[in-house]
Amino acid sequence: MSIKDIVKRTIPPQAYRWIVKRRYRLRPSPLDPWRRVAPVAVDGSWRGKSVDRYYIEKFLSRHQSDVHGRVLEVADNEYTMRYGTDVTSDILHVTGSATATIVGDLESGTGIPVDAFDCIIVTQTLHFIYDYRAALRHLFTALKPGGVLLCTVPGIAQVSRYDADRWGDYYRFTGQAAARMLADAGFGQTSVQTYGNVLTASGMLSYLAIEDFTKAELESDDPDYPVIVAMYGMRT
């Protein structure tokens, strides 16, 4: 007779059920490290650089040779100046800012120059534009023939409350969607790359930073768990 049988015969059924329930409750669970209903921080910037920025900068560094000539970037020109060579920098803002050189609306096309840029950098922006298809068409026409769009969009990400309260936060994208979006906008030469995996995607949702992961964890890409989707498009 097993110990289990002896215990089952010698203690009341109600007590036995309580012991069994307690035993399974105490077992380690794969969910234990994530068993929380709130993120690690409301704003994870204090922990270090955000996970999506790691992947954005990896993508832009791979296309550094495309950042030249007249370059347009949204909101600021940090990446233009970091990755660009012999550039003339323009900054686009929808309502204007102290550093903006162009006030324009990508959705409507108002204020967006035509046939003007050798490169346009648009990081984590299209999901804040309801008609992102129109925005991509206006980005296409803003490029000179032969000009290049370097664009990233979120795959798995929390809502940006700051942006949602001001102009909206509407979409998350897949690699398949990105490929069709570029083609529909008219880009001839295109490529799409996804970055991230289930671990870094989970960490991103909890506002963990790149310092919380090993290099190997950050460098493992699983197309089923994209933290960002990176889009390259040339106007041919």
For 178-205, how does the pLDDT look when each residue is reduced to its tens digit (9 = 90+)? Answer: 999 999 999 999 999 999 999 999 999 9
Strand partners, 103: 93
Is residue 19 over pLDDT 70?
no
pTM over 0.75: yes
Spatial CA neighbour of 200 closest among 50, 60, 43: 50
Lowest mean pLDDT among 6-15, 16-25, 56-65, 191-200: 16-25
Greater confidence (35 vs 113) lies with 113
User: CA of 27: how far to CAs of 21, 22, 23, 30, 32, in Å?
Assistant: 10, 9, 7, 10, 10
CATH 3.10.20.30 fits 31-234, yes or no: no
Is residue 33 over pLDDT 80?
no
- Is-contact 197 203, C-beta < 8 A? no
**pLDDT score, position 158:** 92
**pLDDT score, position 26:** 44
CA-CA-CA-CA torsion sign (218, 221, 222, 227) = positive
Tell me the pLDDT tens digit for each residue of 35-74. Answer: 777 777 766 555 688 999 999 999 999 999 999 999 999 9
Is residue 114 over pLDDT 80?
yes
Mean pLDDT, residues 80-98: 96
**pLDDT score, position 5:** 65
Phi, psi of 70 (to 5 degrees): -85, 120
Per cent of the chain over pLDDT 90 is 75
**pLDDT score, position 46:** 57
**pLDDT score, position 105:** 97
Per cent of the chain over pLDDT 70 is 84
Is residue 7 over pLDDT 60?
no
